[in-house]
Amino acid sequence: MNTYEAKSIFLMLERAGKEGSGILSLSQKTHIKPSRLRRYLSTYSEFFTQVDSDLKYRLNTSNHFHGSTQDMLTALKSESRIDRIKQTFELYNVWPILTSALVLLAILNSSWDIF
């Protein structure tokens, strides 16, 4: 989910208020597939909560953000930055190289202590 899509979800749910908004209604307003919306809304339970046992969702006001859309979006952006950094490391297989280099340095350092 990109930032624009996330922002539109937050704004639509903010407008819906305590009653919340159904998946299909939210999908029509945001032009995001219902299956993606369901997955996204259930993944971020700190931001969204399900209304009763219905298929409606609303903003979670009982978290430390107290329903502040701007604070939630800021937290989501910083989380996505961290995910992008991790993906970059995984993409270029940097972790195995760094691990090997650290092991090599540890071996070299311990062998120098012997002399």
Task: Residue 21: count other Cβ atoms within 10 Å of its Cβ.
Answer: 23
Question: Residue 9 domain-assigned?
Answer: yes
Identify the CATH number of the domain in which residue 73 sits: 1.10.10.10
Domain count, the chain: 1
Listed in sequence order, the DSSP H helices in the chain are 3-16, 23-30, 34-43, 69-91, 94-114
Query: Which residue range forms the structural domain that includes residue 62?
Result: 3-81
The two tokens of residue 53 are: 């046992």
Question: Residue 23 domain-assigned?
Answer: yes
Rounded to an integer, what distance in angstroms lies between the CA atom of residue 3 and that of residue 46?
A: 17
| Beta strand pairing call for 56-59 and 48-51 | antiparallel
The two tokens of residue 30 are: 């945001």
pLDDT score of 26 = 93
State pLDDT tens for residues 66-114: 656 676 777 777 666 556 566 666 666 666 777 788 888 888 777 655 5
State pLDDT tens for residues 13-63: 889 988 899 999 999 999 999 999 999 888 888 888 888 767 899 888 776
